[in-house]
Structure 1
Amino acid sequence: MDTTVLILLFLSSLPLFYLLAKQKPPKKKLPPGPFGFPVIGQSLSLFRALRTNTGEQWLEQKVRKFGPVLKLSLFGHPTVFLAGQAANKLVFGNDTLTPRQTRSFTSIMGRQTMREMIGDDHRRLRAAFGQFLKPDVLKKYVSKIDEEVRYHIKMNWTGQQTVTVTPLMKCLTFDIMCSLIFGLDRGDTRQALATELVDMVAGMWSIPLNIPFTRFNKSMKASRRARRILSKVIQERRRNLDHGLCSPHADLITCLLSLNQEGCGNEALSEEEIIDNTIFAMVAGHDTTAVLITFMIRQLAKDPAIHAKVAREQEGIAKSKTPGETLTWDDLNKMKYTWRVALETLRMIPPVFGSFRKALKDVEFNGYLIPKGWHVFWASSMTQMNADIFHEPHKFDPTRFENQSSIPPYCFIAFGGGSRICPGNEFARIETLVAMHYIVTQFRWKLSGEDDGFTRYPLPSPSQGLTIKLEPKGDM
């Protein structure tokens, strides 16, 4: 290990040493488990596991050794890992555990996001997003998403013998988000924002030392450039609203700028809050949906029977449409089997492997103490791949979701849970179903190449981008 890495790890671990030195010996029992090597902790070990897609096994090994409540050191913080249904209920249902991302994430994405806020600030921001994501507004966005998907397929899929799915899905979801979050048409501004977004995401789980040539430094520079772009967009939207040139619900930015006292409390959102939250929405909605669609396409290539059922459902809807007619909200509600395939994909390959909370005060769980200031880490796979909850968890079976009420609470947590459940899950459903409709009805495909593996750093991604061979179906 070179000197630079050691220095970075030492600096990132200072909060751990400070907290441990400051705290008095606890009267209650701490969870079992070692903090790991001085300075390094288990951060590098977790990084390696995620890159090789063995993160689930990495955690299971620790749970077998120490139990479902254990302590470790991650990203320079004393951390308690919790596993199981009761643990998920604690994480998502206890206000004393507040969401807390790594310092690199908050530095790049911003500190005024809905994900980081608590109490009244969180409720105010969530209500603000609710204006953009309420059902009667979402219904109006279906045609815009339909337009973006059709244009994407025409420009990138039609006439091609092979395509690489991962980068194309990221381009598609980025274009959708640009249209509906920022109201940006295709052009130089959208392309510039796309470039900055790629560099921002690359550093979200990096060591947060802002010195030249580090991944974190590159991401921070990209974040500053993206903020300058968005500041100009906000100023333009504000002028358009003042002169009645656009609707308050034209995109997310106009929704946030248009908030009134009746709509979202007494305090308007600052420009910094709007920028932080639009960046957060962009990152959260862009990569996660791209991951879901990519792995659905991968699964359908591997499972002809499920592919045939999805195709029958989608072709039936396509035959009911006149040439050129866009999909509607009612059409999406008919795609029940396709959405079950999506949910099963999310169960087996959740876009978010896990996340962090921070204890605002001492918390007792299962006989152990989680001290104030410590981080809590949870992982989706601990329940979603648990054979006691989901029979034969490694078998892909969409029928599990025919009756979602039969799934025990806090066991399927692909969208989180409790008061902080993902507010954009319905938006993601629209994106996913519209994209799959046009891909399934226009093409047949099979995997190109034998390498079917994928990595999870920071999000799941096929090792070689998932190249597929295409065969057009022709007109319906």
Structure 2
Amino acid sequence: MEAFFTYVLPIAVLLISLSLFFLNRKRNSGGSKLPPGTSGWPMVGENMEFVQSGPQKFISERMNKYSPEVFQTSLLGERLAVFCGAPGNKFLFMNDSKLLTSWWPQSMKKALLFPSYVDGSVKEVGALQRSFLHEILKPEALKHYIPVMDSMAREHVKTQWAPFKEVKVFPLSKNYTFALACKLFMSIEDPEHVKRLADPFILVTSGMFSVPIDLPGMAYNRAIKGGKIVREELLKIITKRRKELMEKKETANQDLLSRMLLVTDENGQFMNEMEISNNIIGLLVASYETTSTSVTFVLKYLAELPHIYREVLKEQMEIAKFKGPDELLTWEDIQKMKYSWNMACEALRLSPPAQGAFREAITDFTYAGFTIPKGWKTFWTVHASHKNPKYFAEPEKFDPSRFEGSGPAPFTFVPFGGGPRMCPGKEYARLEVLVFMHNIVRNFRLEKAIPNEKIVFHASPVPMNGLPVRLQPHEK
């Protein structure tokens, strides 16, 4: 039965839809000013092509076939206008709230949010747009996170890496980033408590971008069930913390959860528990999925490129030379990791953890001579610029020097978005990647156990075998 739902049902949907295909194409051709492209098969769109070819090939083929500026497609059940290159990125970033508004696919909201919020706009979900969140994620506030990150990374390396000759980087990086997020956002440290959140959360992140068919045996069905468990667990945590705050059992060292419980809107109203849960889930997705992928691919390139590894090791050992054996990293130490961050940026360029982001047109507008109707969804993508030889010479070459000085041209390197809505977690990700890199390279050289391991694409690029590496400890 599970095999039927996983394989046969999507094919059946395609066959049933075949009779509507040409009618759909005829309707699309009627709007001569619409962006060129195709919406693919009814109901299914071009989801299968996207998965089979991977985002980089999918985007580049359509840029060549239809337009290097903007083309149309259909993904996740929505008609999309995909904006390409630096000009497309700039247009979408700079017109947010003017021509466009935030938007998430319905399937994604159904997996993540409480049912009563699924039909609302992203802005109605809660406080992610509120200024206090951006304040908490600014460098001044994040300075206090660095010792915690370093302490947890040291313990993680000691217990999960050092005892072994070979480890799998991807699952270990996911374990670390999720545990760190639980600690920093909600002060949850107990491994069993972390696991109660992590296990269902993995189901959510693994299935929320799959074919949105909510039937037993489908990945999306597992994502829906996992999301329900996560929300229930978060409600328990939030309710308990609110009670503690009301009884003034917690007054100092407030984490993100406590700040959310205490913040009020312009009318003096506190956020309710469901709204806080929605926002915590959004932060967990951002800090877990993309950051663990970033860490994984940084280590992948360090294992593949000995000359790059030597330069990173040299920089990190120079920092360690002036610190005591038990002295934790500081903000000043992080600022010295210039080459290491350039190296990480080049890893993010070649293997970006996030593919882009959606917006919704709130009015008709034109771009590059094409009309984008009100209600259409738009998508900007890293894959239209990161490996484009127009912006990066020899785009497949790993070269950290691209980020020296003023770095790449504006709107060409966009792993964190850009403009007024640049990801507020950019600095958090930078700190987490650099702290983890520091602790790994100071302890080991890395050698890939599977030199030509295949990379597959889900929401993010994923090493098919989890990136197993052999560890070569440094001589003491």
Q: 1:266 Cα shift? A: 4.3
State yes or no: 1:444 paired with 2:449: no
Residue 172 of structure 1 is matched in structure 2 by 176
- 1:86 and 1:123 map into 2 onto residues whose CA distance is 30
Alignment of 1:228-377 (within 5 A): 228-247=232-251, 250-260=254-264, 266-377=268-379
Asked if 1:157 is matched to 2:150, the reply is no
User: Paired residue for 1:117?
Assistant: 122
1:70 aligns to what SS in structure 2? strand
The aligned counterpart of 1:107 is 110
Aligned pair in 2 of structure 1 residues 213, 60: CA closer, same or farther (>3 Å)?
same
Aligned letter for 2:64? R
Cα separation, 1, equivalents of 2:16 and 2:352 = 31
Question: Matched residues in 2 for 1:265 and 1:86: separation?
Answer: 40
One-letter code aligned to 1:444: R
Distance verdict in 2 for CA 1:369–1:163, change over 3 Å? same
Task: Give the drift of 1:210.
Answer: 2.4
1:196 matches 2:200: yes
Match of 2:401 in 1: 399
Q: Aligned partners of 1:31, 1:153: CA distance in 2, in Å?
A: 50
Following superposition, the deviation at residue 212 of structure 1 comes to: 2.4
- Mark the CA change 1:259 to 1:177 in structure 2 (over 3 Å): closer, same or farther: same
Q: Give the secondary-structure state (helix, strand or coil) at the position aligned to 1:384.
A: coil
1:346-386 per-position Cα deviation (integer Å, ceiling 9, x unaligned): 11111012332221221210100111111212220211111
CA contact (8 A) 1:10 1:40 kept: no
Secondary structure, counterpart of 1:286 in structure 2: helix
Calculate the aligned-residue CA RMSD, in Å: 2.9
How much does 1:334 deviate? 0.9
Counterparts of 1:376-415 in structure 2, within 5 Å, are 376-404=378-406, 406-415=407-416
Structure 1 pair 10–272 and aligned structure 2 pair: CA distance change class (3 A): farther
TM-score normalised over the length of structure 1: 0.90
**Contact 1:451-1:464 within 8 A present in 2 as well:** no
How far has the Cα of 1:423 moved from its partner? 0.5
SS of match in other structure, 2:130: helix
User: Does 2:152 match 1:148?
Assistant: yes
Cα 1:336–1:102, aligned 2, differ >3 Å: closer, same or farther? same
Report the Cα offset of residue 287 of structure 1. 1.6
Query: More deviation in 240-249 or 39-48?
Result: 240-249
Confirm or deny: 8 A CA contact 2:353 2:460 kept in the other structure.
Answer: yes
CA distance in 1, matches of 2:264, 2:228: 29
- Provide the residue aligned with 1:36 in structure 2: 40
The answer to whether the 8 A contact 2:360-2:377 is kept is yes
What SS class does the counterpart of residue 455 from structure 1 fall into? strand
Q: How far did 1:128 drift?
A: 3.1
Quick one: distance in 2 between partners of 1:442 and 1:234? Answer: 38
Residues 138, 427 of structure 1: 8 Å contact kept: yes
Per the alignment, do residues 38 and 104 of structure 1 end up closer, same or farther by CA in structure 2, a change over 3 Å counting? closer
Aligned-partner SS, 1:306: helix
Residues in 2 aligned to 1:422 and 1:388: alpha-carbon distance in whole angstroms: 25
Percent identity, aligned pairs only, is 34
Q: Secondary structure at the match of 1:81?
A: strand
Q: Which amino acid aligns with 2:63?
A: V
8 Å contact from structure 1 (residues 442, 473) kept in 2: yes
Shift of 1:192: 0.7
Corresponding residue of 2:425: 424
For the residues of structure 1 that align with 2:376 and 2:264, how far apart are their CA atoms? Answer: 38
Judged with a 3 Å threshold, the aligned counterparts in structure 2 of structure 1 residues 124 and 322 are, in CA distance, closer, same or farther, namely closer
Q: Aligned partner of 1:376: which letter?
A: T
Relative distance call for 1:3 and 1:436 in structure 2 (3 A) is closer
Match of 1:4 in 2: 9
Distance between the aligned counterparts of 2:297 and 2:178, measured in 1?
17
Supply the AA of the counterpart residue of 2:59: L
